[in-house]
Homo-oligomer: A and B are copies of this chain.
Amino acid sequence: MITIDIYSRTPIYQQIVDGIKRQILLGILQEGQQIASVREFSGDAGVNPNTVSKAYLELERLGILVGAAGKGYFVSPGAYTRLREKTVAEEKKAFLDASRQLMQNGITESQLTDWLRELFSEGGNQV
């Protein structure tokens, strides 16, 4: 499911957080659905349970998961919508920041729109 790169400099728990967010955005995990238990994920991914727990707690803090002892973790109601809105907002910010800096380096608006046209004609096939 979620691939972990233990050599990456982004922390493992963060990779788990990102991976679960992504699975929710892709519809692989549905709202209300129970997700893999800490021990289960830990075993599958070859990661220490504490690390998985840290990721799950972070996701709960973000309101994306809800969980409790003896019950397990579930995708919280409304997680998809909130996640999607937040993600788009962050990406828009990244888009505008990059555009602004390019502008300051002398790139014109028409150049940027050209790049966009190329990107969309390609179909943007890439992760």
Instruction: Give A residues with C-beta under 8 Å from B.
Output: 6-9, 25, 61, 66, 68, 71, 74, 84, 87-88, 91-92, 94-105, 107, 109, 112-113, 115-117, 119-120, 124, 126
Contact = CB atoms under 8 A, between A and B. Distances in A.
B9 A68 contact: yes
B98 A102 contact: no
Contacts of A116: 99, 109, 112-113
Nearest to A94: B98
> What number of copies of this chain does the assembly contain?
4
Contacts of A74: 7
A119 B84 CA distance: 23
Contacts of A98: 91-92, 94-95, 98
